[in-house]
Chains A and B, each alone.
Chain A
């Protein structure tokens, strides 16, 4: 078995495509975690984002309207999580689980209601998917074109990662976010508005998760179906832990997970005479994460992450 240079180019290309939703959703998880709120609902928020985007994009024949609708749906479910965790002081994991039931349930319900009882939305026409960048930029080298002529989302997610790194570590708001996530009481005594900061972060987290979901029907598959996310939200969360809650390292973790997935699919092609089972390869990201947690040491979440902040209690 040998990989040709074309195979490698395709592998790079699909790694980028599979990693992009994970990176965007992972950045969403970082936003929420940094401010001290665990968001397990990423999975559900990605699903509703994918549905809202697919439904709107087919209705209005425009990918950007799809993305706007996804952002709105994500904001709503982010706000819902914020309301439970911050105002009502609910257990953050339980609220996240409720969202993981509600959002996909609502997505499939609405899908059936809108598309004549089908669990699949109508496909988005090819010309209404996301545009590709760098087409025809590398005419002499078809391999490089194959690898890098890619959806705009692929490049956008790296810019977004850079922007969030900048936000977290180079701006006042980022400092406030981190202080609220590490020690909310100390932050509050210095005049930082803990509730407001967390509300903003958790809502943005839902929006980013939904955006991560939205680009899936606009790039890889053309329609919404119930298993469209199938655990990618949880992989994004794993990548964030793997990446020690930092944007840069999370991007690398997502690329690794995306590479495993695209390798699993590539090796599934009969022309390679299957040496390794695709199921085994799909297992790798999870086992790597466990091994990293076990041997490399703990990944420290922001100190106040998952804890309820109640200013009336000492």
Chain B
């Protein structure tokens, strides 16, 4: 009982409470902006929440929206836990979706195996994209933030290059061919029940990934050594850990997760890739998800569902003539609040210590 209580108080004191406050602040700022543009915030938020929870179909759509950003959120979280800032989830996601599409269009395999091959190939491609940044960081000391920003745009144009090339471009369209029937990973079983929502195996894979990553980070030697490198590079090296290899491995696993997200989205929902006009932002959403989830794998699952709901529900705001971009403002405010929450935590610790008469 005391153990439970101490766990509860730890969660409450730290991340959880501040995340709740940050989310509340986000909605408050959103309400001010709604008011300023002559829209009743209560009506807008009711439309938003009914749009998410109103029916089983809406909840399933939320799940569909959440799946890719749970993957990218997990990707950013994993890197973060090992001391790396993976802004490159965006590029790894694009490469994952690109390779999955290429396998889906050009390979000829039996149903079941084909989809699996596409998803794994996409994940692997994402991992390679991540390892590039890891190697540059490990052996040349170049910031992974800079390298992954460059790789994001390289991936973006590479995707457009291949999608619009002769072998993959569907004539008189600005998209690739559809992937083969055998490569699709969504099940028709739920089709009549939930309208056009595509329930796909990637959703289960996302949930499984959350627990596998949690296990790796907290219960394995690999996770321990990766976290040790993130915590103190010199100490880890002194302790006999191969630091460069750890950094490359971290970025590889992080890239794998983002790549899987892209691959599942192509095989489970999109079935083709359209020429991109601008970054779609799944990787950047992943950073938000990771921050809202307190850079914890389990947190990323719930934050991903929250953000997925906001993205899906946000599209319903248009019925009120309230721009759906409100969601970006709300999420941006949440991230900003979380970013500055460290100062408030320090303040609370200070006040508490003062109250208890402890020396600072």
Which A residues have a C-beta under 8 Å from some C-beta of B?
Answer: 40, 80, 83-84, 87-91, 93-95, 97-106, 108-110, 112-113, 117, 226-227, 230-231, 234-235, 237-238, 241, 277, 279-280, 282-283, 286-287, 289-290, 293-294, 298
Contacts and interface: CB of A to CB of B under 8 A. Distances in A.
B113 interface: no
Contacts of A109: 33, 37, 323, 325-326, 328-329
A104 B331 CA distance: 12
Given A112-B323, A290-B147, A293-B140, A279 B164 contact: yes
B142 A91 contact: no
B325 A108 contact: yes
Contact of A89 (B33, B142, B333, B342): B342
Contact of A94 (B165, B291, B333): B291
B218 interface: no
A99 B284 CA distance: 12
B150 A290 contact: yes
Given A106-B325, A298-B141, 9 more contacts: A101-B331, A105-B326, A105-B329, A113-B37, A283-B157, A289-B150, A290-B136, A290-B147, A298-B140
A89 B343 contact: yes
Contacts, number: 145
A134 to B, nearest CB: 34
B154 A283 contact: yes
Nearest to B279: A231
Contacts of A231: 153, 156, 278-279
A191 B233 CA distance: 34
A268 B118 CA distance: 33
10 contacts: A83-B340, A84-B339, A88-B342, A97-B288, A98-B335, A105-B329, A235-B153, A241-B146, A283-B153, A294-B142
A97 B86 CA distance: 12
Given A109-B329, A226-B278, A234-B153, A279 B340 contact: no
B212 interface: no
B150 A238 contact: yes
A230 B85 contact: no
Given A279-B160, A294-B140, A298-B140, A105 B343 contact: no
B239 interface: no
Nearest to A97: B287
Interface in B305-360: 321, 323, 325-329, 331-333, 335-336, 338-340, 342-343
A241 B327 CA distance: 33
Interface in B96-136: 136
A230 B160 CA distance: 15
B335 A94 contact: yes
B329 A102 contact: yes
Given A112-B323, A238-B146, A283-B154, A105 B328 contact: yes
Contacts of A235: 153
A287 B149 contact: no
Q: Is the interface of B mostly helix, strand, loop or mixed?
A: helix
A108 B323 contact: yes
B85 A88 contact: no
Contacts of B287: 94, 97
Top 7 closest pairs, chain A to chain B, by CB: A105-B328, A102-B332, A101-B332, A88-B340, A98-B336, A279-B161, A112-B323
A13 B338 CA distance: 45
B171 interface: no
Contacts of B85: 93
Given A237-B149, A283-B158, A290-B147, A101 B288 contact: yes
B339 A94 contact: yes
Interface in B232-247: none
B175 interface: no
A22 to B, nearest CB: 14
Contact of A99 (B156, B157, B332): B332
B195 interface: no
Contacts of A298: 140-142
Contacts of B340: 83-84, 88, 90, 95
B28 to A, nearest CB: 14
Contacts of A110: 37
B150 A105 contact: no
Contacts of B150: 238, 286-287, 289-290
A226 B323 CA distance: 13
A38 B163 CA distance: 35
Given A94-B335, A294-B142, A280 B149 contact: no
Contacts of B332: 98-103, 105
A286 B325 CA distance: 29
A109 B32 CA distance: 13
Nearest to B281: A101
Contact of A97 (B151, B158, B284): B284
